[in-house]
Copies of this chain bind each other. A is one copy, B any other.
Amino acid sequence: MTSHDRAAARALDAADPLARFRARFVLGDEPRVYLDGNSLGRLPKETIERLDSTLRKWDADLVGAWAEWIDLPLRVGDLLANAALGGAAGEVVMADSTTVNLYKLAAAALAAREGAIVVDPDEFPTDRYVLEGLARAHDRELRRLGSEPVEGPTAETVRAACAAGPTALVCLSHVSYRSGALCDLRAITAAAHDAHALVLWDVSHSAGVVPVELEEAGADLAVGCSYKYLSGGPGSVAFLYVRRGLQQELRSPVQGWFGQRDQFLMGPSYEPADGVTRYLAGTPPILDLTAAEVGIRLVAEAGIDAIRAKSLSLTTLAIELHDAWLAPLGFSLGTPREPERRGGHVALRHPDAWRIRCALIERASVVPDFRLPDSIRFGFPPLYTNHADVWEAFARLRRLVKKGEHLAFSEALARVT
């Protein structure tokens, strides 16, 4: 793209093979441009109907409805594995929160392998906190990668960290929540395996927007949430992946009845079920599973490769507009430039990022996210974001900063979600 006018963005939308998916979401003809779907994805229209069906089933079949519901964690997990994670049937299950799943799988890995935990200092906070607690409980070293903040972890930095001593587990985000840097899943997994470590990927920021290809990379473990690009709704049920060859070797530390062999015999002692089922814990949340399934089916229907192609087109436009319009205003790109090193969102850095974020929301009806210390994060979920949205948001951003409208806002950080 050479021209930066609105017509050029509209032309890209006119040629978009996924354009029809925008109408599958509830979004009014509003001035607001929502670019935080990588924090909370939009509401699919079908979710409303499907939740209504689930309520009617609850009413009509009562406890008998469990005959159908009980396999939902596995059935929806299979859908997700196939649609977005590059896993096989029986390798993914919907369960708990990302935090609890990370805890279960990291603890399982530590029980099976000696050595340190390797983690990126820029890893998403809940992941760092969980690993810090497990390191203390299991008396393991928590070894931090020496990553560059924008470029993120590489096979080289992982190899170097693993070389520092025996390593049990490498735990990283596939796409960095802050910078949007995309890790080389295959190369980093191979580097960790060379050091006899297991690898646990947090794919919260890639599931549904970047093909994850866990099996092809030989990845051992993964967790992620369903409420970003998968549009499962606020706090909806998370998922976990365990490579088939590892499923019988590891055990969840949380020995719940949904992970028990012959669960309803309610036998005297715990014996983990075969397969990925053993990583379930308590009773699965059916409303959440209903909503998550709708979003996952939309991704499956659109196809993850088409989604990735559109995502790259959207982030490329954003970077071009940044370079042309925003860099002269003091912004710098907080995301890798190379398409193959980017996930679905773009971070712009600015010394006044917090005030600009506030002004964008209140004066310009553009909703981005903010991440400490100085990043405004723009997410572009391809199923309902178009090029005109990117153009409009960045045009408003340019106008606002040129006029200095953000200077009227307080520098004090409010609570940010």
Contact = CB atoms under 8 A, between A and B. Distances in A.
Interface string A144-165: 0000000000000000000000
Query: Most chain-B CB neighbours within 10 Å: which of A103, A233, A285, A416?
Result: A285
Contacts of A42: 59, 62
B43 A130 contact: no
A23 interface: no
Nearest to A369: B63
A286 B288 CA distance: 9
Interface string A229-259: 0000111111000000000000001111110
B132 A269 contact: yes
A256 B129 CA distance: 6
A282 interface: yes
A287 interface: yes
A49 B258 CA distance: 31
B286 A417 contact: no
A228 to B, nearest CB: 11
B285 A285 contact: yes
B34 A62 contact: yes
Interface stretch (A64-72, A312-320, A322-330): A64-72
B235 A99 contact: no
A407 interface: no
A417 B236 contact: no
B287 A234 contact: yes
Interface of A: 26-27, 34, 36, 39-40, 42-43, 47-48, 51-52, 55, 58-59, 62-67, 69-70, 96-100, 103, 121, 125-126, 128-130, 132-133, 137, 225, 227, 233-238, 253-258, 260, 263-270, 281-289, 291, 367, 369, 371-372, 415-417
